[in-house]
Amino acid sequence: MDNGRTDIAQLRRGIVEYCLLALLVERERYGFELVRTLSDADLVASEGTVYPLLTRLAREGYVTTTWRESRSGPPRKYYALTVRGREALRDFSEEWGRFRTTVDELLSEGNER
Amino acid sequence: MNQATAHPVIERYLRDLERAAQALPRRERRELLAEIRAHLEEGLAASDASDAAVLNLIDGLGEPEAIVASAGPTTPVRGPGVLEVLAVLLLLIGGIVIPVLGWFVGLVLLWASSAWTLQKKLLGTFVFPGGIALPLMMGLMATRVGLPPWAGIPLLIVLVAAPIVVAIVLLRSAERPAR
């Protein structure tokens, strides 16, 4: 684990993808909106890194994209969850619950020793 | 370019990003640049568009290299393969080696390849049908009808040079999807 930083970066990236899907459950959102939400929540260090993740989610069919004119400014690219994306998010949520409990337990045991 | 992103710092940032994104497949590169551009425009519209706001926006986005790296491990985009080189050669001189048919085979290869965009394929098709065989023939005919050399020679040079330039453009722009 000599490159622990890359490990954590990858872990983070994987989780951020599902956070993006989660943000789209209620309604479609545009890129800037998604990115700002994540960075306000301190989930991403640099905002730009979110865009390639969005592109990948689109390429793999988890979201669809549409450019739309906006009344107030430049056109916006909207992302919407697909059935496939919804299923992937559900699977992740279940897995995440189990994962989190296990890791929390192990980490707290480690701290107590 | 949109007026909002005409700030020199933004222009330099976009140029750096474009360079860093060379490693990405064409389509992804285009999408990424469009998104980052939209992000900058959106961010500027929401701010007072001062120099400080621009710098904060750029800082927030992060280093271009980091952005491209988050696209994950990228298989380097591959240049022209044997078929692409053959296609270009046949388009250019196939018509001389085997009249008409040679060029036509090149055309089929051109359209069968996924290494070129529709634009490039059209360019390869129409400049010129027959490759350099056609302008050479036209040149010969022109000397027969007695076109004065001061008109005929430059015309011939342009006619021959155009398909050669197109051939070079095709070879340089060939980009096969990563496996």
Average pLDDT over residues B46-71: 89
Spatial separation of the C-alpha atoms in residues B15 and B36, rounded to whole Å? 12
Beta bridge partners of B108: none
| pLDDT (0 to 100) of residue A34 | 96
Comparing B38 with A5, which gets the higher pLDDT? B38
Residue B174, phi-psi category: left (phi > 0), alpha (psi -120 to 50), beta (remainder)? beta
Q: Token digits for A25? A: 């459950």
What is each CA distance from B125 to A79, B82, B88, B92, B173, in whole angstroms? 37, 19, 11, 11, 15
Whether the pLDDT of residue B150 is over 60: the answer is yes
CB atoms within 10 A of CB B98: 12
Q: Token digits for A57? A: 């989610």
- What pLDDT digit, counting tens, does each position of A38-94 carry? 999 988 888 999 999 999 899 899 999 999 998 877 889 999 999 999 999 999 999
What is the count of residue pairs from A and B with beta carbons less than 8 Å apart? 74
Whether the pLDDT of residue B1 is over 50: the answer is no
Please spell the DSSP secondary structure of B6-70, one letter per residue.
--HHHHHHHHHHHHHGGGS-HHHHHHHHHHHHHHHHHHHHTS---HHHHHHHHHHH--HHHHHHT
Contacts of A8 in chain B (CB under 8 A): none
Lowest-confidence segment of A9-13, B67-71, B74-78, B108-112 by average pLDDT: B74-78
Spatial separation of the C-alpha atoms in residues B69 and B139, rounded to whole Å? 53
Average pLDDT over residues B157-176: 83
By C-alpha distance, the chain B residue nearest A9 is B70
Whether the pLDDT of residue B79 is over 80: the answer is no
Comparing A5 with B109, which gets the higher pLDDT? B109
pLDDT band for position B142 (cuts 50, 70, 90): low
Whether the pLDDT of residue B179 is over 60: the answer is no
Closest C-alpha to A55, from B27, B39, B19, B175: B27
| pLDDT (0 to 100) of residue A50 | 93
pTM, two decimal places: 0.63
Closest C-alpha to A43, from A59, A23, A62: A23
Question: Which of B36, B42, B69 has its CB closest to that of A51?
Answer: B36
Contacts of B68 in chain A (CB under 8 A): 52
Amino acid (1-letter code) at residue B6: A
Identify residues of A whose CB sits under 8 angstroms from chain B CBs.
13, 31-32, 35, 39, 45-56, 59, 72-77
Average pLDDT over residues B6-16: 90
Burial group, residue B17, by CB count within 10 angstroms (0-12, 13-18, 19+): buried
Q: Judge: A49–B28 Cβ closer than 8 Å, yes or no.
A: no
Q: ∠ CA B22-B24-B28 to the nearest 5 degrees?
A: 120
| pLDDT (0 to 100) of residue A5 | 62
Query: What's the ipTM?
Result: 0.82
Spatial separation of the C-alpha atoms in residues B14 and A37, rounded to whole Å? 23
